[in-house]
Amino acid sequence: MPVHPVPVGDPHEFGRIDADGTVWLKTSSGERQIGSWQAGTVEEGLAHFSRKFADLATEVEILEERLTARSGDPRKTQASAAHLLADLPDAQVLGDVDGLAARLTVIVSGADDVAQEVRDQRESARSSAIERKEQLAAEAESIGADSTSWKAGGDRLRAILDEWKTIKGIDRKTDDALWRRYSKARDAFNRRRGAHFAELDRERAGAKARKEELIAEAEALSNSTDWGPTAGKFRDLLTEWKAAGRAPRDTDEALWLRFKAAQDVFFQARNAVNSERDAEFAENATAKIALLDEAEAKIDPTADLEAARREFRTFREKWDEIGKVPREQMHKLESRARALEKRLRDEEDADWARTDPEAQARAAQFTERAEKLDEQAEKAAAAGKDRDAADFRQQADQWREWANAAHSALTDR
């Protein structure tokens, strides 16, 4: 329905005032008396009743605009137009009353169609909103049941929640049922993620216990003088050490140093006993120098950590196979070997730091806490509890700051 301003026009065209002050309105059905004017000149009286028509015309324009814009309840607009139309025959105004009546009639007759259109639009919007939330709920259920990408899955569930909050127009019962599906899926994911990291903790604790057992065995062997068999046992212990997995990060390096120290005690003692055979070992020293030169040039943990591990294992195997070297060369060669090993372990530690699940889980927990506080703030604000909302927002900002710091720490490692 196009909306055009109602023209007020020349009051002389639509009425007149007699000498005795009687005011007449001209309509298509003839003149009718609408009032009396005694407060001023005829022109002032005509202007007065013309302004009253303008006010009435403005009300009609507002109703037309409301109906055209589909704002408000079309039934209420219809009722207002019908009321104005019913009062129009007695209205004390000067203007195109017939035109105004026609426009009000259009509003009254067209409001039913507009009301149906609005209902159809709302139902369509409701169906679309339900469909989208069903899609989001199904995606959340898939993540909750199957995903093992803990960070990506958690991020996606939060993104689903953000979009969920923007979807409106669903009846309370349907919306609550869909929300329960999403909430249940999110809880399932969080439980599985918690169980996963708890299992990692148990595995690390198991690795720590096993490595402590290996250290005890190594320390018991460290004073052995049965050189050949004991050296073989140390190699077996080292293989078991590698198979034990990583202990908690704050203890793994210390455990390794204890294990390595036990090995060093044994091998240093063996070398001391066999110092008189240094001449024989000179060839071994030459071979180890060549092996070190090759390994130092070839092993680059920063370029390819897995390849460096393989190359270092090969290096260590060849290193042990070569055998002893003269005592005066042993420390220098061992220092070079330890430096090579340290390069590898430093990169392993750096790689561990970058993928530390505990730090990632902690950062995710901080973020989740901030989001829950944001939700509480929104609920408090909606309930008119502005003070509580401000407190929740302040807490959310603090937790978000901690989350950002935790994420930055992971990134910077």
Which two three-digit tokens encode residue 192?
A: 């599985």
Predicted confidence (pLDDT) per residue in 80-128, tens digit: 888 988 889 889 999 989 889 889 888 888 777 776 776 767 777 888 8
State the pLDDT at residue 3: 47
Measure the CA angle with vertex 15, ends 9 and 18; round to 5°.
Answer: 145
Which residues have C-beta within 8 Å of that of residue 161, sequence separation ≥ 6? 182, 186, 371
Distance (Å, whole) CA 93 – CA 183: 62
Distance (Å, whole) CA 235 – CA 138: 53
Q: Is 194 helix (H, G, I), strand (E, B) or coil?
A: helix
Q: Tell me the average pLDDT of the chain.
A: 85
Q: Which one has a higher pLDDT value, 239 or 363?
A: 239
Predicted confidence (pLDDT) per residue in 300-358, tens digit: 888 888 888 888 889 888 888 888 888 888 899 889 889 988 887 888 777 776 666 67
Predicted confidence (pLDDT) per residue in 42-92, tens digit: 999 999 999 999 999 999 999 888 888 777 778 888 888 889 888 898 899
Spatial contact of 398 and 382, defined as CB atoms under 8 Å apart: no
Which two three-digit tokens encode residue 336?
A: 């070079």
Pairing of strands 22-27, 30-36: antiparallel
State the pLDDT at residue 337: 85
Distance (Å, whole) CA 31 – CA 28: 8
State the pLDDT at residue 351: 72
